[in-house]
Amino acid sequence: MKLLNADATPTARAMLLQIYVATKAMPWYSLLPTVSEYMIENGWTRCFPRTTDVSLAAYLVYVVIYLVLVELGIYWMHRGLHDVKPLYKYLHATHHIYNKQNTLSPFAGNFTVP
């Protein structure tokens, strides 16, 4: 039984391009958690190491607010990458070449790849 179509197997060139794009994206993927952790450790955020630092109700409200803001931010950022042509051309177009069955790299296909 054949699991993949013949055209689903990427070429060597496609794999090298995916490796290049993923490698180029790695500093960006490393920067956000590094900066976030620095801000958390230096008290620049409303992060609570223990749920007992605030009431359960406040903690749940913060979680909901956080999730809503993250989703709205991702939506508007992605929409902006499509609507503002220079942003699409120079930052976002790479993402759309990986919306295929043979994408190997989770980093190459991410919409935030610069």
Query: Which three-class secondary structure state does DSSP give residue 13?
Result: helix
Q: 110 to each of 5, 20, 49, 59, 104, how far by Cα in Å?
A: 24, 14, 30, 30, 12
| In the predicted structure, residue 72 carries a pLDDT above the cut 80 | yes
**pLDDT on residue 31:** 92
What's the mean pLDDT when you consider all of the chain? 79
Identify the weakest region by mean pLDDT among 43-52, 55-64, 73-82: 43-52
Q: Which carries the bigger pLDDT value, residue 38 or residue 8?
A: 38
Q: Which carries the bigger pLDDT value, residue 100 or residue 48?
A: 48
Rg, the chain, Cα only: 19
| In the predicted structure, residue 114 carries a pLDDT above the cut 50 | no
**pLDDT on residue 4:** 55
Distance separating alpha carbons of residues 90 and 62, to the nearest angstrom: 35
- How is residue 9 written in tokens? 């197997």
**pLDDT on residue 98:** 65
The answer to whether residues 18 and 96 touch, using CB atoms and an 8 Å cutoff, is no
Percent of the chain with pLDDT over 70: 78
